[in-house]
Structure 1
Amino acid sequence: MKKHVLITGASGGIGGAIAVKLAEEGYHLYLHYHENKKAIEDLLVRLEPFGGEYIPIQADLSSKKGYKKVVKNIFSLDAIIHNSGVSHYGLLYELDDDVAESLINLHVATPLLLTKQLIPKLLSKGSGNIIVISSIWGQTGAACEVAYSTVKGAQIAFVKALSKELAFNGIRVNAVAPGAVQTAMMKGFSFEELETIKNEIPMGKLASPENIADSVSFLLSEKSSYITGQVLAVNGGWYT
């Protein structure tokens, strides 16, 4: 039976790695992106050899109504991977109101409302998975990333609550909380700053996007069939 998965933020480093991993495993994919059409076009070329159905969907999920455009393009559905996200650095008292609203829409309001609209499609299958890509900062918080830590923490609360609501229906809800991952989000750090981060991580290195993709694959698989409401920390021992 064909299984269809929605990946939001598929144009990013983690989203692209998740898409490749799931395509290798035979999933058909809805690939959401916002502005980076070139990255999605390149991703489609990478996915072509796997022979599945890969449908790009453009939408701005940081806007209040952006999720509705995604809903209109979803038909059969077995899993949702909420992966869209942007980081934000700076002191809280300097946070612009529009930036705060955008962060809340993208990380909290959109996953909640998008999931609300798509739950009936999962219920019709009698099973399903919802996976949220949160962050280490949603677990422990970070100075100069108060807004980002707040929305990522809200994602974890969302997972814990929704997992209890949907468990009896055969739908599992979990989160992956990466630490530092070698993606474009890290480009703002100098070499010295990256070395400092690596030295703080017990494993001595940053995660690769593929490390996160492997975790998502596990949570989608039957190997995790009795796991729900959990946060899988993928951080090299940085926070335990």
Structure 2
Amino acid sequence: MLTALRSLFFMLAFYVGSLVFVLTAMALGSVTPMMVQRIATGWSRYHRSCARWLLGQTVRVEGDLPLGAYLYIIKHESMFETIDVLCLLDRPAIGAKRELFDIPLWGRIARLYGLIPIERAAGASALRVLRAAAKDRIAQGRPLCLFPEGTRVPHGEAPPLRAGFAGLYSLLGLPVVPIAIDSGRVSPRGKFLKRPGVITYKVGEIVPVGLDRREAERQVHAAINALNPPSALDQ
């Protein structure tokens, strides 16, 4: 019962608060994109505070998180990390599925913020557009972030990476920082109930530029699943 009440209070507080942030960004977004980025960072901090004080979820980072011109590849288990990554990194340019940009209000804010739309079913032409957008964000001094599994994955599962990662790795020529997360333990995909606990980010070793695509995928896949049971890597 307590978990259900905490989850309900979290949903009410977070979504009502999110509407305030969206409306504020809509009102001020025409002034400067930097304003939208600051509002988005504030929204992420608000989300982390709601998770901390209403759900009893805290965040821990294991390992040294390098900052700079990197491609950050993050495990995707729940909605938590898609928002919290704005606390983890400084104004990250995140690759997001194209259909999210069609959501009323939110889609416009996503464009103003500088998210990068990804066409899941598109081919080489879409990858070139993605590369151009990524280069633009790099020129702005912003880190790039990608959730390479394409969708939320239940904790303990380790599906193969989507082809978009290998394409970006080859085209951008950036070293990769792989990051594992275990948010699915306390905030399972598609579940209303969210449990208290520690959500851990585990920073893996940097994957250098110039590796064979298969080797780069192998290293990244192992690193982002480092918090899963060992048997998950055999899937």
Confirm or deny a common fold (TM above 0.5): no
Using CA pairs under 8 Å that are at least 6 residues apart, name the structure with larger relative contact order, 1 or 2.
Answer: 2
- Shorter-chain TM range is 0.3 to 0.5
TM-score normalised to structure 1 length: 0.39
